[in-house]
Structure 1
Amino acid sequence: MVNRNLQDSSLPQWPEAAVTLTALFHAQGEVTRLSEREQLFNTLLVSVNAVLWAFNWETRQMLYVSPAYERIFGRSAELLLSDYNQWRDSIYPDDLDYAERSMAEVLINGAVEDREYRIIAADGQVRWLSDKCFINRLAEPGQPMIIVGIAEDITDKKHIETELQRLATTDGLTQSSNRRHFFDCAHREFEQARKQDEPLSFLLLDIDDFKVINDTYGHQVGDSVLQRIAESGRASLRRGDVFGRIGGEEFAAVFPGCAPDMAMQVAERLQREIQRLGFCHDDQTFGITISQGLTSLTAEDANIDALFARADAAMYEAKRQGKNRIICG
């Protein structure tokens, strides 16, 4: 016999109960899926080698920073969220002004995508960041201005770029500027001297009897001679002078802001320095000499090629006069 009180109770009837259970199972499934999505999102954030961040421009408060912050900066994310200066104080001092100015440009342009600056990590290592930032356009009118961004660690990329630049501009044997880079720098110094109405001198030097050295002692010894010449050049020239290897045994230098008499003093110092060099091979010792051609900027010079041509002619005149001397042209 059916219990009427039970049948008439407030418990849901079976069809209603089934709906309730279905809804409950559905809700639990949604919770599970949300939890799985959150776990996936957190896993992605941890694996990305870039810092996602959100910043309240008006209060100067960091609202969010992803886990990569602690890995790249080596600093506490909790401290950053309580004090934005944790990020600001990490920026390399020479780059701080640029980093702050470029971030402020987001207020005008809505986005800044080409910011690159250095930071000093907690372990003292200098790292490069590419830090893109955007205004959060999803915010409703009257809401605080939130800037969101992504700061990518590009240190390895910068190191590769630096090495490629060095290889492109440096003579591999002597570690001096190669011909192309030397004349690029010389051209800039020429234009600057013209613009500022300042003196400029050009020096060309050639190792005397270098072919005899190679034929007598071998190319390995010849390479050593070239390397020592380059070292002497870097040691004898002034800070700011341009020096490079422009041919087999030819080197050149440009002296910005250097009047003819001072340029002669530098050339004589280099001449003496090279005369002091000594080389040994199979119990034989020998020294080397150089011939130099020196010239200075005149009002008639249209470009750096004019100075190079005069210095070249003066250097060959030094060869004709017996070598191991400086001739002005």
Structure 2
Amino acid sequence: MVKNKPTTLACNPPPEAAQTLLALMHAQGEVARLSEREQLFSSLLDSVNAVLWAFDWESRQVLYVSPAYERIFGRPAGLLLADFNEWRDSIYPDDLDYAERSLAEVLVKGAVEDREYRIIAADGQVRWISDKCFINQQSDPDQRVIIVGMAEDITEKKQLEGELQRLATTDVLTQSSNRRHFFECAQHAFETARLQQTPLAFLLLDIDDFKQINDTYGHQEGDYVLQRIADTGKAVLRRGDQFGRIGGEEFAAVFPGCTPEIAQQIAERLQREIQRLSFSHEDKVFGVTVSQGLTGITEDDESLDSLFARADAAMYQAKRQGKNQIVRG
């Protein structure tokens, strides 16, 4: 009797099954790689401290906004995606017209990279935004226009710029304009007055016997006198007038659109307010006076130097005549 041979089980699957298995493994690998890329992309977007956005110009709809929007603007991204007016409502009112106008310029220029405007974040803080935008390049004119952009929070940069500007234009001791900045402003006011044929007054002020104050009470007390004089000048002058410290104990003022008569009244008020100031040092009380030279622009004045020279001569005449007075030149 012949015994049947045992059946040999196949160690390898049929070719069709193997191909299916390989295809499934490849698909799973692709899904895994796609998931990794999505996670990487999402992680990158979360870490970028700038708002990436896309906007449909025709429908006025925000198509995409990155996670940084909620950090910088402090508002839910879903509200912006649902209503474009969320962006408009967040802009500082004085900057809204510029923000909208500069956004529209991208349709003509293709790119606008110098947009800077302020927003009011949800916490009430005012922040500066640098918002670059670009139009997509479409070969088919019938396709919709998509604008993409990147908005960064530049508040710290603006604050630093402001502080540097303040340091460059301000006298450190008195916090009034320094000499360079004062004369830059005075020159601009002079040119405007000449062009528009409007009045302009120029004033020089010098503290009487200031060296004696320093010698008697010390330089620290002298510095305090300078600060009080500067504060008084800034308080008395009108909005639009320029006041600055141009020398050790010498100050100057420019009054745009001001006739000599009105300028005289301002100078007299300044004189009175300074006379009211009281200082004390080691139980000694003292006051200060100033001598002022005042002049106004004339048809013959071709430069600011001529006004300065007349005011300077008038101020020294006030010194020679007994100090604590105003002389018009």
TM-score (normalizing by structure 2): 0.95
2:82 maps to 82
1:31 maps to 31
Alignment of 1:270 onto 2:270: yes
1:137 maps to 137
The separation in 2 between residues aligned to 1:297 and 1:36, in whole angstroms, is 74
1:259 maps to 259
The separation in 2 between residues aligned to 1:17 and 1:166, in whole angstroms, is 78
Query: SS where residue 58 of structure 2 aligns?
Result: coil
The separation in 2 between residues aligned to 1:3 and 1:296, in whole angstroms, is 122
Structure 2 stretches lacking a partner, 5+ long: none
Residues 117-196 of structure 1 mapped to structure 2, 5 A cutoff? 117-137=117-137, 140-196=140-196
Query: SS where residue 90 of structure 2 aligns?
Result: coil
What is the CA-CA distance between 1:139 and the residue it aligns to? 6.9
The separation in 2 between residues aligned to 1:38 and 1:162, in whole angstroms, is 41
Identity value in percent: 75
The separation in 2 between residues aligned to 1:95 and 1:197, in whole angstroms, is 33
What is the CA-CA distance between 1:320 and the residue it aligns to? 1.0
The separation in 2 between residues aligned to 1:319 and 1:44, in whole angstroms, is 71
| Deviation digits for residues 175-230 of structure 1 (CA, Å, limit 9, x no counterpart) | 10000110010011111111111000000000001011001101100000000000
The separation in 2 between residues aligned to 1:310 and 1:25, in whole angstroms, is 94
Alignment of 1:60 onto 2:60: yes
Q: Give the paired residue count.
A: 324
Query: SS where residue 285 of structure 1 aligns?
Result: strand
Q: Which amino acid aligns with 2:193?
A: A
What is the CA-CA distance between 1:172 and the residue it aligns to? 0.7
Q: Which amino acid aligns with 2:202?
A: F
Assess, with a 3 A threshold, how the Cα gap between structure 1 residues 57 and 36 changes in structure 2: closer, same or farther: same
The separation in 2 between residues aligned to 1:28 and 1:141, in whole angstroms, is 40
The separation in 2 between residues aligned to 1:155 and 1:22, in whole angstroms, is 55
The separation in 1 between residues aligned to 2:141 and 2:193, in whole angstroms, is 55
What is the CA-CA distance between 1:305 and the residue it aligns to? 1.4
1:96 maps to 96
Supply the RMSD in Å over aligned alpha carbons: 1.7
Q: Which amino acid aligns with 1:86?
A: E
Query: SS where residue 89 of structure 1 aligns?
Result: helix
The separation in 2 between residues aligned to 1:249 and 1:73, in whole angstroms, is 48
| Deviation digits for residues 21-67 of structure 1 (CA, Å, limit 9, x no counterpart) | 23322221221111111111111111111110000000000100000
Q: Which amino acid aligns with 1:154?
A: I
The separation in 2 between residues aligned to 1:49 and 1:138, in whole angstroms, is 29
Q: Which amino acid aligns with 1:233?
A: G
| Deviation digits for residues 220-258 of structure 1 (CA, Å, limit 9, x no counterpart) | 000000000001101111111100000100000000111
Q: Which amino acid aligns with 1:164?
A: L
1:218 maps to 218
Assess, with a 3 A threshold, how the Cα gap between structure 1 residues 2 and 319 changes in structure 2: closer, same or farther: farther
The separation in 2 between residues aligned to 1:19 and 1:214, in whole angstroms, is 99
What is the CA-CA distance between 1:140 and the residue it aligns to? 4.7
| Deviation digits for residues 73-96 of structure 1 (CA, Å, limit 9, x no counterpart) | 111111111100001111100000
The separation in 1 between residues aligned to 2:312 and 2:41, in whole angstroms, is 67
The separation in 1 between residues aligned to 2:81 and 2:206, in whole angstroms, is 63
**Higher deviation after alignment, 155-164 or 140-149:** 140-149
Structure 1 stretches lacking a partner, 5+ long: none
The separation in 1 between residues aligned to 2:200 and 2:224, in whole angstroms, is 31
1:204 maps to 204
Residues 314-329 of structure 1 mapped to structure 2, 5 A cutoff? 314-329=314-329
What is the CA-CA distance between 1:20 and the residue it aligns to? 3.1
| Deviation digits for residues 234-283 of structure 1 (CA, Å, limit 9, x no counterpart) | 11111111000001000000001111111111101000000011100000
The separation in 2 between residues aligned to 1:39 and 1:13, in whole angstroms, is 36
2:234 maps to 234
The separation in 1 between residues aligned to 2:34 and 2:214, in whole angstroms, is 76
